[in-house]
Amino acid sequence: MKVLILYDYPPFPGGLATQGDLLYKGLCELGVETHAVHFESEQEKEWYYHWFNPDVVVGIGYWADTPQLILHPQRYGFQPVPWLVSDGYIANYQSVLNALPLILVTSNWVKEMYVKDGISGDKIEVLPVGCDTNSFKAYDRNDPKILSVRKSLGILPDQLMILTVGGDAATNGAREVMQALSIIDKEAPDWKYVCKVWPYPRTQAQNFEDFRMANDLGIENNVTYATNIISRNFMPYLIAACDIYVAPSRLEAFGMSQVEAGACEKPVIGIKAMGMLDTLIDGETAFLANVAKKIVAHEVMLGDESGFENNHAVKFDEPRTVEYRANVQDIATSLLTLMKDAESRDKMGKAGRERVVANYDYLIVAKRFKEIITERLGIE
């Protein structure tokens, strides 16, 4: 089996790049002939087609990346196998996707979304995202690297560090978390809430609105927004430095950071919806807040990314859920339970680590990928 993987390569420290890079790493360690190339690099992709002659070309992205991930390898006679997340209504390329023998998706929820948008479920296999459990693991609280992370964030030795990581905090449920923290503030032990966000221009306004909410709630002195550029090398230590990982995300195709937190033996608070229904077990490896609200849309505006002119309107026959909101009181109850009970934090964290190692280690995912390709495409 010879595999060419298309993703954001060399890997940027984002979810899709990490997803592709861990598959690449896992296949290489299993002895599979594998190469990686940037999904938008037409010249380099063609170069690999000509001399490497891959059996399959695996592209990591979402449906709007179809030209780069699917049509480009097809143009040269190679078999594409997209590995996709969900990102809005599939407004185009249904015929291209339905003509494929195999589509990989990151969770059962993503599969449901694709089927709802007209993609044949018979073609779809769920392949979860891998986790490097050698890097994401438990560290001693007094490890110099952990102490340095906490010090750099202004966390006092006896403070509980609550953490959310994402491109922006609101999408990962931080506003609901802040509301929950304001409810339990007087009952809870001393705490600091850290939101690690990426310094995109588009997130600056959101960060301002989030911090204004913290100020309105009277918890601004306990909330820190970390906006530095960091590498994937730093992420295991950042997550391992926290006491509780909280991300009841509004939209989540898999839940990579929640899985990584579990690998670090951290208790997780998520939402009872989407990809987290696959990855987390409520009451065992995480507390999952109920859905308080579904944000629905009756129409969507499309543009070039979908093959339409700008501001092309598509009206839905049935309203579509585009985001979720977690129940704030559920988050508050779970937070207070974990904040007051170190034994519960430890028990849930260990259960989380056990589940991640057994199901989501990147080598396990790479082996499952090989099995799917052999079963569905007959490629050894």
Length of the chain, please? 380
- Spatial CA neighbour of 81 closest among 114, 59, 110: 59
Under 8 Å between Cβ of 210 and 174: yes
Handedness of CA 337, 341, 347, 352 (dihedral sign): positive
pLDDT of residue 299: 83
- Look at residue 208 and tell me whether its pLDDT is greater than 80: yes
Q: For tokens 């490097």, what's the residue?
A: 132
Q: Enumerate residues 6+ apart whose C-beta is below 8 A from 186.
A: none
**Crossing angle (nearest 10°) for helices 342-359 and 256-263:** 110
Q: For tokens 């592209």, what's the residue?
A: 59
φ, ψ for residue 126 (rounded to 5)? -85, 120
What mean pLDDT do residues 310-330 have?
87
Please report the domains of the chain, with CATH numbers, ordered by start residue.
Answer: 2-130+361-377 (3.40.50.2000), 144-290+327-359 (3.40.50.2000)
- Spatial CA neighbour of 164 closest among 270, 30, 322: 270
54-86 confidence digits (pLDDT tens)? 999 999 999 889 999 999 999 999 999 999 998
What mean pLDDT do residues 256-278 have?
97
285-311 confidence digits (pLDDT tens)? 999 999 999 999 888 777 676 666 677
pTM of the predicted structure, to 2 decimals: 0.94
* Structure tokens given for 161: 């560090």
pLDDT of residue 307: 63
Cis previous bond, 10, omega within 30:
yes
What mean pLDDT do residues 18-47 have?
98
